[in-house]
Amino acid sequence: MDVRVTHATAKLDGTVHIPADKSMSHRAVMFAAAAEGTSQVNGALGSDDVRSTIAAVQALGAEVGIVRDAEDGLFLGVTGWGVRGPRQPSAPIDCGNSGTTARLLMGLVAGWPIEVTFTGDASLSGRPMLRIADPLRAMGATVDTAEGGTLPVRVHGGGLRPIEYVSPVASAQVKSAVLLAGLQASGCTVVIEPAKSRDHTERMLPAFGVPVEAERGSLTVSVTGPVVPSACDFFVPADPSSAAFFTVAGVLVPNSRVIAPRVSLNPTRAGFVRVLERMGARIRVDDLAPLGTEEAASLQAWYSEGMSATTIEPAEVPSLIDEVPIVALAATQAAGTTRFEGVGELRVKESDRLEAVRAGLEAFGADVRAGEDWLEVSGPTPLAGCTVPSLADHRLAMTWIIAGLIAQGETVVEGADAVGVSYPAFVEHLQRLGAPVEWA
């Protein structure tokens, strides 16, 4: 389905309840599935990606009951496989569009004597899996990939040995896969990163009874196995990546004010807030307080004139990797040239996101350039409505919908139903704020 957007002539005003964090929802379901006993997962994201994870752990022997399926999330009861381990699935596990599902489950099953084949849709089947396969092989698992190191992937696990793995990339998925495999290795498994990636795994595992050695801000994290998680009750806060789109909408649409409560502001995820503030965006963080294993706050954003360009350094990128498209859109309205450095990882997302951002912004009339691992956006530049494809990428679909609100004329976002991967109600929530968007 497509979405039609017209230039916003009225302000966006109100409170939007952002859905639950996707990264944490995946992990809560997986960790509960691996645990001994029954966990309650409160407010998990009800998106296509998370439902792929739910179906996957069910195929591996966990019992998942949906107690309530509501706009504020899925309320789940999950009885895990615990000490008996996951069962041999009867068919390949389809991970849909979800790289988190495929990569983390590869690590989770690698410690058990079963054989599991992971498949995915066309987009996921083009994404690199050797970054997971290589350390799992070093631990003793047998991992076979398709030619080119992609899905389908077959993992035959069991009998793992601990390793000290120096990751060539700052990737929470790589780190998490190795740590999850380490739960069944005899000894201490260590992951060392080149820069700090999302730390949800090391924050959440202790809630499920798994000790993790990691100093806050450290690039080294470890677990000692064998250890089986224990059931717990877990609450998932709102997703900062999803909140970023409404924050930028509030900053860019004249006279707007948008409030998003209970958003996770984990420091490894809040890079977009820091960068936008540095650019001069009017953003306020209120009521910052612990929420489960995270810190959450209310984000308020106001229309911001006179923003200026900035440079995003490589060390900052892991904390805003999913928000680069929407921050790049904000940069079209800032004075000067904003440069993103070290963003080559965007080329292996749901699409070649770096090239797609360049091409999409150019279609709107922006002054934009890209290299192998950098992006430059010069502004301020007036945008004009256009027809732009989502490339089945949820982050791009949402970015182009927000772009349409500040572009003159009409914008059509093709394949905008890709938003269902992370934010099924995205269009409806924009409409509640007064945005002129509709399904076409």
Asked if residue 35 lies in contact with residue 82, where contact means CB atoms within 8 angstroms, the answer is yes
Residue 218's pLDDT is what?
83
The domain boundary, picked from 187, 212, 237, lies at 212
Same domain, 11 and 54: no
Residues 179, 307, single domain; the answer is no
**Dist CA 432 CA 13 (whole Å):** 9
Q: Taking the complete model, does pTM exceed 0.85, yes or no? A: yes
On whether both 43 and 82 belong to a single domain, the answer is yes
Burial of 334 (0-12, 13-18, 19+ CB in 10 A): buried
Range of the domain at 116: 22-212
Evaluate whether residue 279 is within a structural domain.
no
Q: Give the integer Cα–Cα distance in Å for 12 and 390.
A: 24
Give yes or no: residues 9 and 37 share one domain.
Answer: no
Provide the number of structural domains found in the chain.
2
Question: How high is the mean pLDDT in each 10-residue block of the chain (440 residues)?
Answer: 98 96 97 98 95 98 95 94 97 97 98 98 95 98 97 97 96 97 98 95 97 87 98 96 98 98 94 98 93 92 98 95 97 98 90 94 98 97 98 96 98 97 95 97
Residue 205 near residue 183 (C-beta atoms within 8 A): no
In this predicted structure, what is the pLDDT of residue 349?
81
Same domain, 172 and 34: yes
In contact, 295 and 269? CB cutoff 8 Å: no
Task: Determine, yes or no, domain membership for 102.
Answer: yes
Q: Which of 212, 245, 261 is a domain's end point?
A: 212
Domain shared by 165 and 39, yes or no: yes
Distance of alpha carbon 49 from its chain centroid, rounded? Answer: 10
Gap between the Cα atoms of 268 and 197, Å rounded? 6
In a shared domain, residues 124 and 141 = yes
Quick check: 279 and 270 in contact, CB under 8 A? Answer: no
The Cβ of residue 440 has, within 10 Å, a number of other Cβ atoms equal to 12
| Residue pair 277/305 in contact by the 8 Å Cβ criterion | no
Annotated active-site residue 134? The verdict is no
Q: Which residue has the tokens 């949820």?
A: 394
Sequence-separated (6 or more) residues with CB below 8 Å from residue 70: none
| CATH number for the domain that contains residue 27 | 3.65.10.10
Judgement on whether residues 70 and 164 belong to the same structural domain of the protein: yes
Does 90 lie in the same domain as 9? no
- Catalytic one among 239, 322, 393, 417? 322
Alpha-carbon distance 75 to 368, whole Å?
43
Same domain, 120 and 177: yes
How high is the pLDDT of residue 405?
A: 98
The whole-number pLDDT of residue 291 equals 86
Q: Are the CB atoms for 275 and 356 separated by under 8 Å?
A: no
Q: Are residues 60 and 11 in the same domain?
A: no
> Quick check: helix, strand or coil at residue 233?
strand
Residue 437: partners with Cβ closer than 8 Å, 6 or more residues away: 3, 4, 5, 401, 404, 405, 427, 430, 431
Q: Are residues 49 and 167 in the same domain?
A: yes
